[in-house]
A = this chain, B = another copy of it.
Amino acid sequence: MSQRTPYRTGDQTLVREINLSLIMNRLLEHHSLSRADLAEVTGLNKSTVSSLIQNLLDYQIVREVGLSSSGVGRPSMLLELNPEAGYIVSCEIGVDTILIGCANFGAEIIWRYREDTRHRHGQQAIIERVLALLDEAIATGERLCRTCGGLLGIAIGVPGLVDHDTGTLLFAPNLGWQDVPLRAILQERFENVTVFVENEANMAALGEYFFGAARGCDEVLFISAGVGLGGALIRDGNLLHGATGFAGEFGHMTMDPDGALCNCGNQGCWETQVSQTALFRTIRHAIQSGRSSLLSASTGGDLDRLTVPLVVEAARAGDPVALYALEQVGHDLGIGIASLVNALNPELIVVGNILSLAGEFVLPAVEAELHRRALPWNANGMRIVPAQHGFEACVMGGVAIVYQAVLSQPGRILG
């Protein structure tokens, strides 16, 4: 009997934690509620709610926003999460961009910035630029909202495998990075602030769950295609992390055992069929084999300058090559999604990044394959929707990840 206990025992602080969390989550969900509403909605006793709210008011995490009369009886005092309770800084290190935002506790982005990084060379240069932008974001946050919590947390999303214990980016094939101790680097610069490092797709999924298309859904599959193909699964508000934190690498599922070589070393990964790279390759092949397309003109003849917005624009104009390529992506996406629907039985699928942009041309083919291949019991009643926050889903996810930490352990910021 030597090991220290990993189990969380039940005690009073746990009870308080649970109920505080319950209340804050309901306030997030409904935006504003009275104490009486909260008692009704949570099932807690009126006096308990009052006590919890008093606690939150003391720390200015919640604020009273005015009376609301619902006909007869004493009017109620509406409560909401105080947007100025603190601020959150969230940053996505993409393959060729940095996206950064600063949000208040009302989850409104009060400052955002986007920068192309194609001209910057090397990991060192990019990380230094990120640090500088974080300084700027923090300065903005300090200026605009610091009632009690100040900076509540910094979140960094990266397109690769993250070791959650250490916050190290282990492997990012599309970025060409390996073993970068991101959390340690940031923690050194920003002491006493919690730093979250997470896979970009995981973050984006959380962003859509808290603030986007997946609000209120208990079983969400998120699929995000960009340079590569990433994904995540959310169950009851929590990411499925797997044993070592690398779950959700749907892009590296084998779809064709003898297929094209993938950056990961395997053959026929889903990512070789469904991604920006695959889309452009299909278009290039079609044009090179003599098919005419508006894209030849709109890229000025240089197909290396293809972008997803250009492809979507061409598709809108009825360009057959663009339509064909997008449908091909939808077809291959659909086969994989059907498999995942059978395996995981989600309630909702959210498609992100370029898929949210090209949804109108991709999703019909997806739906067709899905209903052809998935068990009807799994597929019926399930919806597929584009991400509400589009390319900003990841940054919103950084906000969400900090939010989640605060909401699930309100005690920590209550001192």
A residues near B (Cβ < 8 Å) are 1, 3-5, 7, 9-12, 14-19, 22, 36-37, 40-44, 161, 170-171, 218-219, 231, 235, 240-250, 252-254, 257, 264, 266-267, 335, 338-340, 342-347, 372-375, 377-378, 381-382
* B345 in contact with A43 (CB, 8 Å): no
What is the CB-to-nearest-CB distance from A408 to chain B, in angstroms, rounded to a whole number?
Answer: 13
Find A378's partner among B19, B244, B344, B375 (CB 8 Å cutoff).
B244
| Most B-side CB within 10 Å, residue of A4, A16, A244 | A244
* A378 in contact with B1 (CB, 8 Å): no
* A43 in contact with B7 (CB, 8 Å): yes
Which B residues lie within 8 Å of A41 (CB)?
1, 3, 5
* B9 in contact with A44 (CB, 8 Å): yes
* B246 in contact with A218 (CB, 8 Å): no
Find A344's partner among B42, B161, B242, B347 (CB 8 Å cutoff).
B242
What is the CB-to-nearest-CB distance from A258 to chain B, in angstroms, rounded to a whole number?
Answer: 11
Cα A267 to Cα B335 in complex, Å, equals 11
Find A246's partner among B15, B235, B378 (CB 8 Å cutoff).
B378
26 examples of A-B residue contacts, CB within 8 angstroms: A1-B37, A1-B41, A3-B41, A5-B40, A5-B41, A5-B43, A7-B43, A9-B19, A9-B42, A9-B44, A10-B18, A161-B375, A171-B375, A219-B243, A242-B345, A243-B381, A244-B377, A244-B378, A244-B381, A246-B375, A249-B345, A250-B342, A250-B343, A252-B342, A254-B373, A266-B373
Which B residues lie within 8 Å of A248 (CB)?
343, 345
Find A42's partner among B7, B264, B266 (CB 8 Å cutoff).
B7
Cα A378 to Cα B266 in complex, Å, equals 13
What is the CB-to-nearest-CB distance from A274 to chain B, in angstroms, rounded to a whole number?
Answer: 13
* B373 in contact with A249 (CB, 8 Å): no
Cα A177 to Cα B18 in complex, Å, equals 44
* A241 in contact with B345 (CB, 8 Å): yes
Q: How many copies does the complex hold?
A: 2
Cα A257 to Cα B257 in complex, Å, equals 12
Which B residues lie within 8 Å of A342 (CB)?
246, 249-250, 252-253
Closest chain B residue to A373 by CB distance? B266
Closest chain B residue to A253 by CB distance? B339
Find A240's partner among B9, B235, B264, B267 (CB 8 Å cutoff).
B235
Cα A340 to Cα B344 in complex, Å, equals 11
Find A345's partner among B246, B340, B346 (CB 8 Å cutoff).
B246
Which B residues lie within 8 Å of A161 (CB)?
375, 377
Closest chain B residue to A248 by CB distance? B343
Cα A242 to Cα B220 in complex, Å, equals 9
What are the 4 closest A-B residue pairs judged by CB atoms, nearest first? A242-B345, A10-B18, A243-B347, A5-B43
What is the CB-to-nearest-CB distance from A71 to chain B, in angstroms, rounded to a whole number?
Answer: 13
Which B residues lie within 8 Å of A17 (CB)?
10
* A339 in contact with B254 (CB, 8 Å): yes
Cα A297 to Cα B244 in complex, Å, equals 49
Cα A266 to Cα B375 in complex, Å, equals 8
What would 20 more interface pairs be, CB under 8 Å, given A5-B42, A10-B14, A218-B243? A1-B37, A9-B22, A10-B18, A11-B15, A240-B344, A242-B345, A242-B346, A242-B347, A243-B346, A243-B347, A244-B377, A244-B378, A249-B343, A249-B375, A252-B374, A254-B335, A254-B373, A257-B335, A266-B374, A267-B373
